[in-house]
Amino acid sequence: MQTLDDAWNAGPKSNLWDTFRKRHTEDVAVYWPGQAEPTRGRDNHDLESVEFFKTFPDNHLINRPYKILLQQGNHTCSVADFYGTMKGPMKMPDGKM
């Protein structure tokens, strides 16, 4: 989790997408606060992450230390503060802006 979020903080011009694909299984389920259903699948999570960087290009996770970090087997759960400047519309899970 730490290496993934470090790559996330380095941004899309770094090795983020390589690390992103290595750290997520093909059948990943990502649960976001306030989202009724998780984002399912690495490709779908990849797409939503690209959109997230369009909306918050300078976003940053405060992951040193995390507020909460749990791991069991190949499951992880993290809680971290986040900041970023909203520079564009936010695409919702249904594809609407």
Q: Domain extents for the chain? A: 2-83
The residues, ordered by sequence, that sit 6+ positions from 44 with a Cβ below 8 Å of its Cβ are none
Given a cut of 80, whether residue 61 has pLDDT beyond it is yes
pLDDT averaged over every residue in the chain? 91
The residues, ordered by sequence, that sit 6+ positions from 42 with a Cβ below 8 Å of its Cβ are 21, 24, 25, 26, 27, 28
Given a cut of 90, whether residue 9 has pLDDT beyond it is yes
Confidence of residue 11 (pLDDT cuts 50, 70, 90): very high
Predicted confidence at residue 93, as pLDDT, reads 63
Statement: 2-83 belongs to CATH 3.10.450.50: yes
Dmax over CA atoms of the chain, in Å, equals: 37
